[in-house]
A = this chain, B = another copy of it.
Amino acid sequence: MRPQKAEKTDEVQGLPRITKQRRAIFAALQGDASHPTAEEVYLRVKEELPHISLATVYRNLKLLARQGLIREISTGEGPNRYDFRTHEHAHFQCDRCGRILDVEMGLPRELTRDLERTGFRVRSHELVLHGLCPDCGAASSAD
């Protein structure tokens, strides 16, 4: 059986392969709650695969995100970040320390339902909150 070919008129590329780079990048993300940037993932993976290219890291992070295996976060401030947790949740970026923290917060159904009633089709959403995280909020009070 031949590998599945692109059949749609769309530019669908064939099935992704499991290369050692792709595996290493995915593995580097597992369990890492720090929401690393591509650059940070690159540095980490480099320890295992010293010859890996930054472009490869970018390509694979994008690909893994398209596959839904990881999540891509754009905060509108600095480079994109990546999250191994793919379930619905929001992100909180601290104004002071810049860290991004996961926030278990789903968008109320009724909000999107209202939208869909007016003809929209909601596929996904991205919610980023800004302010002070517990650590920095406390430090700031002390000032």
In the assembled complex, how far is the CB of residue A80 from the closest CB belonging to chain B, in whole angstroms? 7
Indicate whether A131 sits within 8 Å of B121 (C-beta atoms), given known contacts A80-B76, A115-B92. Answer: yes
Q: Considering the chains assembled together, what is the distance between the CA atoms of A133 and B122 in angstroms?
A: 9
- Bitwise, A94-113 to B at CB < 8 A (1) or not (0) is 01000000010101100110
In the assembled complex, how far is the CB of residue A113 from the closest CB belonging to chain B, in whole angstroms? 11
Q: Are A134 and B118 interface neighbours, CB within 8 A?
A: yes
Q: In the complex, which of the residues B92, B95, B124 contacts A131, with contact meaning CB atoms closer than 8 Å?
A: B124
Q: Does A74 contact B (CB under 8 A)?
A: yes
Q: Are A131 and B122 interface neighbours, CB within 8 A?
A: yes
Inter-chain pairs besides A103-B115, A121-B132, 20 sampled, C-beta below 8 Å = A76-B80, A76-B126, A92-B120, A92-B122, A95-B123, A108-B108, A112-B129, A118-B134, A119-B133, A119-B137, A120-B132, A120-B137, A121-B131, A121-B137, A123-B132, A124-B130, A124-B131, A126-B127, A126-B130, A127-B127
Can you list 15 A-B contacts with CB-CB less than 8 angstroms, sorted by A residue number? A74-B74, A74-B75, A95-B123, A105-B115, A107-B127, A119-B134, A120-B134, A121-B131, A121-B137, A122-B129, A122-B130, A122-B131, A123-B131, A126-B127, A126-B130
